[in-house]
Structure 1
Amino acid sequence: MSVTLNITKTKVAILELSRPEKHNAFDSHVINELIQCIEHANSLDIRALVLKTEGKHFSAGADLGWMKSMAGNNYDENVADSEQLAKLMHVLATSPHPTLCLVQGAAFGGALGLIACCDIAVATSNSKFCLSEVKLGLIPAVISPYVIKAIGERQARRYFLTAEVFMADKALDMGLIHEINDELTAAQDQFVELLLNNGPAAVKSAKSLINEVANQDIDAELILHTAKRIAEIRVSEEGQEGLTAFFDKRAPNWQTAAKQ
């Protein structure tokens, strides 16, 4: 197994790709392992999902040996392979849990899709990124919906077409990552603590709210929908506990449980 999934006592799922000898490149087997682990994590009662990799580099993207074998496949076989990669991106992007991606070293090709699919992404200062597909006569098709959402159409028009390498500061500027931190373990602890301080149901509801509201016109239907969403959570058990704890000047019960 190249992929492991471990659940901490604070109900955080740590998903790690360990294929450093291949620069954590993924082939059909790795993709299937990632899908299975993410789908399992999505079904669990956890507080967050952390995606990380072992070794010097985050991921070189698609494994060259796998790509060579796919080149000999016919069109229908290539569609089937690509659909699995698309499924991987989808199950990660639609996870009900908050997701955190930790990036070190190089992140090329499809690896940018994994980063863009996560809610929060942190990279080291020496991390470098590349949408390298056109150098091979290919296109970043499957990851494009997620990467374009993260960096915007204007940046995609440059980096999809030039396949140039860019560093962490540029990735930060364009919105692919949220923070640069050379201590990824400390960054993981920081963001996990922030997430655990918040209402578990509220965090999941806030995430689903983003998916519902993003790119929608602000019309009467959307206004009513958001009004109903806040009303629902105010009268929920967690919402009542959060408000009561605030006015009582005490920690809410989920913070107490997270520290046990």
Structure 2
Amino acid sequence: MELIGVSRDARGVAEISLRRADKHNALSAQMMTELEATARSLAADAEVKVVVLSAEGKSFCAGGDLAWMRAQFEMDRATRREESSRIAKALGALYALPQPLIGKVQGNAFGGGLGLISVCDIALAAEGVKFGLTEVKLGLIPANIGPYVIARLGAVKAQEIFMNGRIFGAAEAVALGLVNRAVAPDDLDEAVAAEVALPLACAPGAVRDAKALLRRLAGEVTDAEVEGAIDALADRWETSEAQEGIAAFFDKRPAPWA
């Protein structure tokens, strides 16, 4: 079963959709592998002018799949590091898209879901959606997504949500810069369509070059930053807090620090 869908239309619009609605689109190993491959394929397609990132079901993305995370405790450090870097690779492929990437956030987004939003050039969310970097509640840290979250929000705004795990709404997500606009749920499709129409009315080569220039001027996420974040998460996995936090989640009991 494919967990990432992709469609293209005659205008040159491609849509990537997360298709694991029964698990709130939590990012599994298969899902991240498919997402990376899909992004790389679209990046190489000269006929694609705009890419939309969406999700099926009630949730946009609940973050990393905790069963997949729990399985990593049985791995040695090198294997665990490679496994946990899957999300960094998927995000990196989306971030590297030469076409504008527009996020359609119809439901709640936590953890890795914020990483997906952060690599979008424009993100629109439905009013009522909830967000949060909840990793620290589990004894983990928002590491692999960190370079992209901070690149989007900046350090000052990122520190409001990066290390406290609190849940916030769509209005605050706009104020932080995580999403560009929040609209009524019934208006989300129309708002995304209007956003898609803007680059379609421009010279496609100029749009790509403008995006590349913007990235260079703003300061691109570097390979060194990504590798450093992967190492930071590998270190955190070695701690008793991480083991206790994940175990508490599966046992449906409060973590020791809660």
**TM-score range for the pair, normalised by the shorter chain length:** 0.7 to 0.9
Q: Distance in 1 between matches of 2:188 and 2:45?
A: 25
Q: Distance in 1 between matches of 2:160 and 2:74?
A: 30
> Secondary structure in 2 aligned to 1:160?
coil
Q: CA deviation at 1:161?
A: 1.3
Q: Distance in 1 between matches of 2:67 and 2:219?
A: 39
Q: Distance in 1 between matches of 2:159 and 2:197?
A: 37
AA paired with 2:99? H
Q: Distance in 1 between matches of 2:64 and 2:106?
A: 17
Q: 1:90 aligns with which of 83, 92, 102?
A: 92
CA shift digits 1:102-153 (9 cap, x unpaired)? 1022100011011000101000011110000100100011111110111121
Superposition pairs of residues 68-147 of structure 1, within 5 angstroms: 68-147=70-149
Comparing both chains, which one has the higher relative contact order based on Cα–Cα distances under 8 Å and sequence gaps of 6 or more? 2
Query: Where does residue 37 of structure 1 map in the other structure?
Result: 38
**Number of equivalenced pairs:** 216
Q: Distance in 2 between matches of 1:201 and 1:93?
A: 18
Q: Distance in 2 between matches of 1:101 and 1:191?
A: 10
TM-score (norm 2): 0.81
Q: Distance in 2 between matches of 1:72 and 1:108?
A: 25
Q: CA deviation at 1:156?
A: 2.1
Larger of the two Rg values belongs to structure: 1
Query: Where does residue 161 of structure 2 map in the other structure?
Result: 159
CA shift digits 1:40-94 (9 cap, x unpaired)? 1111021101100001110101112111111222211111012221111111111
Q: Distance in 2 between matches of 1:162 and 1:155?
A: 13
AA paired with 1:199? A
TM-score (norm 1): 0.81
Are 1:212 and 2:223 an aligned pair?
no
CA shift digits 1:169-212 (9 cap, x unpaired)? 00000100001122221122101111111111111011000111
Q: Distance in 2 between matches of 1:160 and 1:74?
A: 28
Gaps of 5+ in 2: 221-258
> Secondary structure in 1 aligned to 2:54?
strand
AA paired with 1:6? S
Query: Where does residue 245 of structure 1 map in the other structure?
Result: none
Whether contact under 8 Å (1:104, 1:126) holds in the other structure is no
- Pairwise CA RMSD: 1.2
Query: Where does residue 202 of structure 2 map in the other structure?
Result: 198
Q: CA deviation at 1:164?
A: 0.1
Q: Distance in 2 between matches of 1:210 and 1:77?
A: 36
Query: Where does residue 4 of structure 1 map in the other structure?
Result: 5
Q: Distance in 2 between matches of 1:215 and 1:208?
A: 11
Q: CA deviation at 1:215?
A: 4.2
> Secondary structure in 2 aligned to 1:162?
coil
> Secondary structure in 2 aligned to 1:154?
helix
Instruction: Provide runs of 4+ in structure 1 moved above 6 Å.
Output: none
CA shift digits 1:2-47 (9 cap, x unpaired)? 1111111111111111111000001110000101111111110211
> Secondary structure in 2 aligned to 1:60?
coil
Identical positions, percent: 38
AA paired with 2:205? A
